[in-house]
Chain A
Amino acid sequence: MSADTAIPVVRTLDYTGAERLTMNMGPQHPSAHGVFRAILTLEGEKVVAVDAVIGYLHRCHEKLAETLTYAQYPSIASKTDYVAAMTSELAYVMAAEEIAKIEVPKRAEYLRVLVAELQRIASHCLWLGTWCMDMGGALGGGATIFLYCIRERELVLDLFESLTGARLLYGFHQVGGVRYDVPEGWMEQCRQTIDLIDKRIDEYQEMLEGNAFFLMRTQGVGVISKELALDVGVCGPLLRGSGVAFDLRRVAPYSSYQDFDFRVPVETAGDCFARYRVRMAEFRESIKIVRQIIAGLPEGPISSRPGLKSVAQVRVPKGEAYTRVEGARGEVGCYLIGDGTAKPYRMKWRGASFSNLAVLPHIIPGHAVADVVAIMGSVDPVFGEVDR
C-alpha cells in the first residue's frame, strides 16, 4: 500500500500473519445477494481486509445491445437490474429519444413516472426483506419480515402483471412512449394497493425501530463518510444516507418529475441505519407521487409513434446521448450512439449497484463477520446490474 494514495488499495493486502484466516464468502453463499464473492481476511471475528470479486453474472449486455434493434432491446434492458426492471428500460428509451429528438406525450410521461415509482416501492420491499433476513436469519425473525415484504411486493407485481402481462421483466417502455395503457379498474386497484402498503410500512418501521436488537445491529455500522461517498462515487440511498442531497429526480428532472411534489430524504449519519431511514422515507415519497398521478393522469395518446409492427421500425439518426435516471439503487445511466440504422452502434450502462459496491472494501474492514452481511445488505446490490 503506497503512502500517497488517499484511499487504500485493498488488493495489495497481506493475507498472511499470525492468527489470520482467509475465508471465502460467496459466490455461493446465503447472503451473497446473487453471486458476490468476498474474500475476507479475519483476525478472530474481526475482518481486517476484504477483496471483492465480481463478474460471475456477466452476460455481455452491452455487446448484445448492438445486435438488437431499438424496438427489441428495452425488454432485454430489464434484465440488467432485474429487481427494478422498469428503471433501465426507461434510461434506454430516453437515450434513443434524445438522439432522435422524439417527443413523448404527457400521458406516457406520467405513466413512466407511475411505473418507476411503483417499481421503487417493489424494489425497496425486496431490499427490506432480504436485508432483515441477512441480519435475522432465514430461520428466525428475519424470515418473518422477509415474507411480509414479499407479500407487499407481490401486490405491486400483480399491478404490473395486469398492466404489461409480466411480473419481473416488463418491456413496458418503447421509444416515443409506453407500450400499454392502463386497463379498466387498474387505477382503483393501484390506489388500494398503495393505501395498504402505506399502512404496512408504518407497521414494519414500528416493528424494527422498536426493537433494540435491530438498532444495535444497524446504528454505527458501516459508516460511509460524506467525503468517502463523494470520492468513491456512490449514489442513490447510500449517498443520501451520508448527508448529500442528490437525487436526479430533483437535481436534473427527467420525464415529468418536475410536475410532482415530493421530498428528497437525507440522513447524515452514513451508517446502515441511516440508509434504512432514507429508504423507508423513499417508500413514503414514492407513494405520494403515485397518489398524485392517480389523481391527475392526463388524457391523450400513450405514444408519439405508431404501435410496433416490425422490429426494425424505430430508426435513430447519427448521434450520441447519455441519459440518467434515479433508480431504486441510485443513478442508472445509458450511453447510446446511434448510426442511422435500427440498431445502436454502441451502448454502455452505468449501473448504480456497480459504483455502490466499490465502497465495500473501504467500510467493511474493522467490522465483525456478522456486520459484513448487514453492510452488504444495506448497500442493496443487484448483480445483474453490477456485471451486466
Chain B
Amino acid sequence: MTTSSIAVTGLIAGGAVLGALLGLVAYVTLLERKFAARMQSRIGPYRVGPHGLLQPIADGVKLLLKEDIIPTDADKRIFTLAPLVFVVPCLMIFATIPFAPGLGVADLNIGVLFFMAVSSMEIVGLFMAGWSSNNKYALISAMRAVNQIISYDLPFIMAALVPVLLTGSLKLSEIAHAQEGLWFIFYPVLGQLGFIAFIVASVAAENRVPFDILEAESELVAGFRVEYSGMKFAIIQLGEYAHVLGTSFLGSLLFLGAWAGPGPWWLGPGWFLLKALLIFLLITWVRWSFIRIRVDQILQISWKLLLPLTVLLVMATAVTVVMRSGTGE
C-alpha cells in the first residue's frame, strides 16, 4: 500500500467512526435520561417523536441556535479554544478501539497506552476552560479537575494493566483475542477485582457522580463550563459523553471479551456495543444513586486506598503470569 492510499483509508475509516460516534453519543444521552427517569419513577423525555426518540436531535438544534456568549473579561482566544482542546482527545480515544476483528481506525501495538495517554490530555482543555472564563466558580473547578484527574488516572491505568499483563500485549485486538476462551472478568479473583477498580477509577476520571466535584452544581453552579453557552457548551458535553462511552468500550474490551458472543461472527460488533452500553448503564446507575463526596475525601480514596490496592493487584497479576508461564515451559 502506498502512503497516500493509507492516508485515504485512514481518513475514510476515521470519518466513519466519528460519524457513528457522534450519533451514538447523542443517543446515549437519551438512554441515560430514560434510565435515570425510570430510577426516579419518572417517564423521561416523551414529547419529541415517539417515546422522545427525537429528543437528542431537538437538543442539538437548540444548542446550535443558542446565542454564543463570551464574557467580557474572559481570555477570548483560550476561552474559544478550550472546548476543542477538550473534545479532541475525547474523540481520539476511539481511534485505537477495534470494533470487530480488523475493523478499527488504527490497531496500534501500543493501543492501551495510547488510550490512557490521550484520555488524560482532556485535563488541558478543562483547565483552559476554567482559567480563561475568569470566573471564581470555574477557577475552583479547574483546580479540582487537575487534582482529581491526576489522582484517578493512576489507579485507572493500574486497573487496565491487569488484562494487559494477562495477555502480554498492549494491542487491543490481541487482548480481545486472548479472551476467546475466558473473559478476563471471569479470571479468578484478579479479573473481578480489576474490573471493580476499573469501574471506580473510570467513574472518577470521567467526573461523574459521586466524583463530579468539577461540575458540583450545588456548590460551583456548573464548574469549569459555567460561562459556556450554545455550541461551545454542546461540544464540552459531547466530549464528556464521548469519554464515558470510550471508557465503556475499553472496559468491555479489556474485561468482557469485546466482540465474543453467541451467534455468527458478524454479530460481533453488536455484542461489543451491547457490552459497552451495559458498562455505561452501570456507571449511570452509580451516578443516579450516590451523593457527591468532598474533594479531600476523593483524594484520600484515590491515594490511600485505590492506588495501593491496584498496585498490589498488578503485582499479584504479574506473579500469576510468571508462575503460569514458568509451569508451562
Closest chain B residue to A138, Cβ basis: B217
- A141 to B212 alpha-carbon distance, docked (Å): 11
Contact, CB under 8 Å: A148 / B40: yes
**Contact among B212, B287, B291 for A214, CB-based, below 8 A:** B291
Closest chain B residue to A369, Cβ basis: B219
B218 at the interface (CB under 8 A from A): yes
Give the distance to chain B from A379, nearest Cβ to Cβ, in Å.
15
A148-B40, A213-B210 as given contacts; A136 in contact with B294, CB under 8 Å = no
- A240 to B136 alpha-carbon distance, docked (Å): 37
Contact, CB under 8 Å: B293 / A217: yes
Query: Which residues of chain A are within 8 angstroms of B210 by Cβ–Cβ distance?
Result: 136, 140-141, 213
Query: Which residues of chain A are within 8 angstroms of B41 by Cβ–Cβ distance?
Result: 147-148, 151
A137-B212, A151-B41 as given contacts; A142 in contact with B219, CB under 8 Å = no
Contact, CB under 8 Å: A211 / B221: no
**Contact among B144, B289, B297 for A144, CB-based, below 8 A:** B289
- A376 to B293 alpha-carbon distance, docked (Å): 16
B51 at the interface (CB under 8 A from A): no
Max chain A Cβ within 10 angstroms of own Cβ: one of B36, B144, B219:
B219
Residues of chain B from 201 to 231 with CB closer than 8 A to chain A in the complex: 208-210, 212-213, 215-221
Contact, CB under 8 Å: A147 / B218: no
**Contact among B42, B208, B295 for A45, CB-based, below 8 A:** B295
- A141 to B291 alpha-carbon distance, docked (Å): 5
A370-B295, A373-B218 as given contacts; A140 in contact with B140, CB under 8 Å = no
Give the distance to chain B from A353, nearest Cβ to Cβ, in Å.
19
Contact, CB under 8 Å: A23 / B136: yes
Q: Mark B277-311, 1 if CB is under 8 A from A, else 0.
A: 00000000001111111111100000000000000
Contact, CB under 8 Å: B40 / A133: no
Give the distance to chain A from B196, nearest Cβ to Cβ, in Å.
15
A297 at the interface (CB under 8 A from B): no
Contact, CB under 8 Å: A142 / B291: yes
B39 at the interface (CB under 8 A from A): yes
**Contact among A24, A217, A372 for B291, CB-based, below 8 A:** A217
Contact, CB under 8 Å: B288 / A31: no
Residues of chain A from 231 to 273 with CB closer than 8 A to chain B in the complex: none
Contact, CB under 8 Å: B140 / A45: yes
Give the distance to chain A from B165, nearest Cβ to Cβ, in Å.
30
Query: Which residues of chain B are within 8 angstroms of A141 by Cβ–Cβ distance?
Result: 209-210, 287-291
- A71 to B70 alpha-carbon distance, docked (Å): 54
Query: Which residues of chain A are within 8 angstroms of B219 by Cβ–Cβ distance?
Result: 31, 369-370, 372-373
A298 at the interface (CB under 8 A from B): no
A117 at the interface (CB under 8 A from B): no
Residues of chain A from 141 to 160 with CB closer than 8 A to chain B in the complex: 141-145, 147-148, 151
- A209 to B143 alpha-carbon distance, docked (Å): 31
Max chain B Cβ within 10 angstroms of own Cβ: one of A21, A45, A139, A211:
A139
A326 at the interface (CB under 8 A from B): no
A59 at the interface (CB under 8 A from B): no
Contact, CB under 8 Å: A144 / B295: no
Give the distance to chain B from A329, nearest Cβ to Cβ, in Å.
20
A134 at the interface (CB under 8 A from B): yes
Q: Mark B135-150, 1 if CB is under 8 A from A, else 0.
A: 0110110011000000
Contact, CB under 8 Å: B294 / A371: yes
Closest chain B residue to A29, Cβ basis: B221
- A143 to B292 alpha-carbon distance, docked (Å): 11
- A142 to B291 alpha-carbon distance, docked (Å): 6
Closest chain A residue to B37, Cβ basis: A147
Give the distance to chain B from A381, nearest Cβ to Cβ, in Å.
15
- A29 to B218 alpha-carbon distance, docked (Å): 8
Give the distance to chain B from A341, nearest Cβ to Cβ, in Å.
48
Residues of chain B from 135 to 173 with CB closer than 8 A to chain A in the complex: 136-137, 139-140, 143-144
Contact, CB under 8 Å: A139 / B212: yes
A116 at the interface (CB under 8 A from B): no
- A132 to B219 alpha-carbon distance, docked (Å): 13
Contact, CB under 8 Å: A140 / B42: no
A143-B288, A151-B41, A370-B219 as given contacts; A137 in contact with B209, CB under 8 Å = yes
**Contact among A135, A140, A148, A368 for B296, CB-based, below 8 A:** A368
Residues of chain B from 187 to 210 with CB closer than 8 A to chain A in the complex: 208-210
Query: Which residues of chain B are within 8 angstroms of A30 by Cβ–Cβ distance?
Result: 217-218, 221
Max chain B Cβ within 10 angstroms of own Cβ: one of A29, A133, A371:
A29
A369-B140, A370-B219 as given contacts; A143 in contact with B293, CB under 8 Å = no
- A138 to B296 alpha-carbon distance, docked (Å): 21
Give the distance to chain B from A100, nearest Cβ to Cβ, in Å.
47
Contact, CB under 8 Å: B209 / A136: yes
Contact, CB under 8 Å: A134 / B218: yes
Contact, CB under 8 Å: B39 / A144: yes
Give the distance to chain A from B223, nearest Cβ to Cβ, in Å.
11
Closest chain B residue to A130, Cβ basis: B218
A23-B136, A135-B292, A370-B294 as given contacts; A140 in contact with B40, CB under 8 Å = no
A45-B140, A143-B288, A369-B219 as given contacts; A216 in contact with B209, CB under 8 Å = no
- A217 to B218 alpha-carbon distance, docked (Å): 14
Closest chain B residue to A46, Cβ basis: B296
- Can you list 9 A-B pairs, Cβ within 8 angstroms, ordered by A? A23-B136, A136-B218, A137-B212, A140-B288, A147-B41, A211-B290, A213-B210, A213-B292, A369-B220
Knowing that A137-B292, A214-B291, A369-B220 touch, tell me 10 more A-B residue pairs with CB under 8 angstroms: A21-B136, A136-B291, A137-B209, A141-B290, A142-B218, A211-B290, A368-B296, A369-B140, A370-B219, A373-B219
Chain B residues within CB distance 8 Å of chain A:
36, 39-42, 136-137, 139-140, 143-144, 208-210, 212-213, 215-221, 287-297
Instruction: Give 3 closest A-B pairs by Cβ, nearest first.
Output: A140-B209, A136-B291, A31-B218
